[in-house]
Structure 1
Amino acid sequence: MTIELAPITLPATVSGTDFDPDFGREVKGMNPGELTPEQFKEIETALYTHGILLFRDVALTPEQQYALTKAFDPESESYGHGNNKTQSTKKSVLHPDLKTIPRVPQVQLIGNGMVYNHEGLESAALKHPSHTTFHKTRVSAEDEALGITRFYRWHIDAALYDYNPPRATTLYSITVPEGGRQTVRYSDDDDPSGETLSVPLGTTAFVSGKKMFQILPPELKSLAVRTSVRYAPHPYVWMAPARAKSDGLGIVNEGLELPLNELPEWEQLKIKTLPILWKNPVTGELHFQVHPCGAQELIVKPLPLGAFREGALYPDGEHIKDLGKVRELLHLMQRPGIAPGLVYPHDWKERDLVLFHNRGLLHTVVGAFKPDQVRAFHQCNLAASDVPTGPTEQDIIAWA
C-alpha cells in the first residue's frame, strides 16, 4: 500500500512567501512500527524530501522506535552520543537532560518532572532544558510569569567528537502537559532585532538548513560552500562553562570554555571537521548544518580558478582560529535562517511521532515548564556509519 502524505498544519506565524512549500508532511493510515520494506523506502524518500514526517496517535514501543531509526542506517548501532555515555560525563551540558531506557540503550527518556515505573526505570527525575541555566542573560521572573521565554540551543543531534552525526532522529511523545502559549523573545543586548514568536507550551522548533543556505547573499553562499567547521574535542564538556546568545544560536565569546587540558582524555584523530553544507541524498540540495555552540575553527578553501573575486570573503582561503571571528561569521550566516517566519514550532499531542532529517534541519527545545508539569518523550538517534557528504567541486564552482 502506498503511503499517504498530507501537508502538515503550519502556524499563522509562518511566512507563506518565504517558507519552503516542501517542508513537512503528515503520514496517514500507517503504523510506523510495522512498515513493510517497500513502505519504508517510501518513508525514507519522503523524509529526505520534506525534512519532517509526522505520525499522529500511534503506539510505538522503544524496540520499534529503535528499529525504525536504525532502518535509515542499518550499519549504525549506538546512540548518537554513545550508549550510556552522556550520563557518565557529568560535566557535559547534556548530562541532566537524558535518561537511558535500560533494555534499549539507544532510546532516551527526556522531558520534565518525576516519572515512575517507566520502561524498566523505577523512577526518573526529568529536567526540561532551560535558557536560565545556559544563556548569558535570562528573561526576568516577571516576564517569565507572563509567558515570555526563549529558544534554548539551536543544534543538530550529534556528538561532534568520535561519532558521526546521525541521519535521522525520532521523537515520540508519551505525556504532554496542557498549558497556555508562550512567546519566544529573540532580543537582548547581543541581538537587538526585537523579534518575537508565539509558540505552544514546550514546543520543539525546527528550521530548514536548505532554506538557511538559500537565503544567504552571494558572498556568504560563496563562503559557506568553501568552508568546513572544526569542532572542539568533547564539545559539550568544552562549552559547559560558557554562556549562549539570547537567540540560542551560538555562544557569547567571553573565553569561558573549559581549557583543552582540562577536558576528558581526547585524541586528535577523533576531532570532527565537517563541511558547513551537507548534501541531501535524495534531492541533491545543500543544507547549512552547523552546531554553532561547539564550533572552534573554520577552514576556508580558496576560490576556484577563474571565479569572480570582487567582494569575495577570504578569496585565497583561510584557517580561522580566532574563536570570536568564528562565532561572528557563523552567526552572520545562520541568524537569517531562524527568523520567525521560517520557524516551524511543533504543537505536540500525546502519541505524536516526529521523524526528522537530522542532516537537513536544525532544531531546539523551547520554553519552560513548572516542576509539577510532567512531560515524557522517547528520543532516538544513532551515530551514523558515514560522514555527511559535502559540496562537490561542481557545487563550489556554481556558488563560489
Structure 2
Amino acid sequence: MKTEPGLTAFFSNVQTYGMMTEDERQIADHSWVEYAPHPYQWMGDCKAQPTGLGLVSEGKEKTLGELGPYDEKNVKRYPMVWVNPVTGERAFMVHGICVRRAFLRSSETEEPRVVDDVAEIREWLKPIQERVLRPDYIMLPKVEEGDVVMWANYQVFHTAVDYPDHWGARTMHQANIGASQGPVGPVPIPSVS
C-alpha cells in the first residue's frame, strides 16, 4: 500500500473481531492478556514488524529486573475482547507489542493455559491481526496543520507511517481523556474483575 510518509493509519478492531473464526472468537471472548510493566521501556529495543503491527521476536525485551521498580497493582491485565458499553460491539483489542503473558481458555469454567513465551503469543496473534491489514480496511486521513483527528480508542488501532529522518521531526500532538474504568469483556475475567 503506497502512502505519503508521516501519516497515521487506522483500522477497526471490531472488523478484526468479525474476521475471526468461531473457535478464535470463543477463545478471545474468554481470555485475557497481561502487559509488561513499563511496556514501552520493556519493548524499546525490539524491532517492529514491517506492517507496523506487532514485534519481531528476537529476545530483545528487557528483563523485569532491567525495568526498575514497579508496583504489581499497576500492571495492566485486560480482556482480549473489549465490549463497547454504548453499542455492545466487540473489538479484538490485544496490543501485541506490550503483551508479556496470555491466559487462554474457551469458557468461563475452564482453567486458563498461561502462555509466557512472547514468541508463541505473537505467533498466535499475527495471523488474526493481519487479516485486517488490507488497503480497503485501512484509513489514512490526510491531515493539515490545525486539523483534529479523533477515534475510539476502545475499538481502533493506529500506527504512524514511516517518516524520513532527513525531513526533520514528525510532529503530532496527542491528547488522551483517561477513562474512569478499564475495558470490560464479554465475560468476567478473574484477573481484572
Q: Do they superpose with TM above 0.5? A: yes
**Given that residues 96 and 122 in structure 2 are in contact (C-alpha distance below 8 angstroms), is that contact kept between their aligned partners in structure 1?**
yes
CA distance in 1, matches of 2:11, 2:173: 21
Aligned residue runs from structure 1 range 376-395, under 5 A:
376-392=171-187
TM-superposed deviation, 1:263: 0.6
**Given that residues 29 and 187 in structure 2 are in contact (C-alpha distance below 8 angstroms), is that contact kept between their aligned partners in structure 1?**
no
**Given that residues 302 and 316 in structure 1 are in contact (C-alpha distance below 8 angstroms), is that contact kept between their aligned partners in structure 2?**
no
**Given that residues 42 and 61 in structure 2 are in contact (C-alpha distance below 8 angstroms), is that contact kept between their aligned partners in structure 1?**
yes
Mapped pair 1:266 → 2:61: no
Residue 153 of structure 2 is aligned with which of 358, 382, 389? 358
Give SS of 1:332's match: helix
**Given that residues 229 and 275 in structure 1 are in contact (C-alpha distance below 8 angstroms), is that contact kept between their aligned partners in structure 2?**
yes
Runs of 4+ in 1 over 4 A off after TM superposition: 372-375
Mapped pair 1:341 → 2:136: yes
Mapped pair 1:292 → 2:96: yes
Aligned residue runs from structure 1 range 60-75, under 5 A:
none
Structure of greater relative contact order (alpha carbons < 8 Å, 6+ residues apart) = 2
**Given that residues 12 and 156 in structure 2 are in contact (C-alpha distance below 8 angstroms), is that contact kept between their aligned partners in structure 1?**
yes
Mapped pair 1:211 → 2:27: no
Give SS of 2:166's match: coil
Task: Call closer, same or farther: CA 1:319–1:202 in 2, change over 3 Å.
Answer: same
TM-superposed deviation, 1:321: 1.5
Q: Which amino acid in 1 is paired with 2:176?
A: N
Alignment TM-score, normalising by the size of structure 2: 0.88
Q: Which amino acid in 1 is paired with 2:131?
A: P
Deviations 1:98-156 (A, max 9, x none): xxxxxxxxxxxxxxxxxxxxxxxxxxxxxxxxxxxxxxxxxxxxxxxxxxxxxxxxxxx
CA distance in 2, matches of 1:261, 1:210: 36
Give ranges in structure 2 of 5+ residues lacking alignment: 189-193
TM-superposed deviation, 1:281: 2.1
TM-superposed deviation, 1:355: 1.1
Match of 1:78 in 2: none
Give SS of 1:319's match: strand
**Given that residues 234 and 264 in structure 1 are in contact (C-alpha distance below 8 angstroms), is that contact kept between their aligned partners in structure 2?**
no
Deviations 1:8-47 (A, max 9, x none): xxxxxxxxxxxxxxxxxxxxxxxxxxxxxxxxxxxxxxxx
Match of 2:191 in 1: none
Match of 2:80 in 1: 276
Match of 2:24 in 1: 220
Q: Which has the higher strand share?
A: 1
Task: Call closer, same or farther: CA 1:330–1:374 in 2, change over 3 Å.
Answer: closer
Match of 2:6 in 1: 202
Alignment TM-score, normalising by the size of structure 1: 0.44
Give SS of 1:230's match: strand
Q: Which amino acid in 2 is paired with 1:253?
A: S
TM-superposed deviation, 1:317: 3.4
Give ranges in structure 1 of 5+ residues lacking alignment: 1-196, 306-314, 394-400
Residue 115 of structure 2 is aligned with which of 317, 320, 326? 320
Aligned residue runs from structure 1 range 1-400, under 5 A:
197-303=1-107, 317-369=112-164, 371-372=166-167, 376-392=171-187
CA distance in 1, matches of 2:19, 2:158: 18
Q: Percent identity, aligned pairs only?
A: 32
Give SS of 1:371's match: helix
Task: Call closer, same or farther: CA 1:326–1:369 in 2, change over 3 Å.
Answer: same
Task: Call closer, same or farther: CA 1:355–1:326 in 2, change over 3 Å.
Answer: same
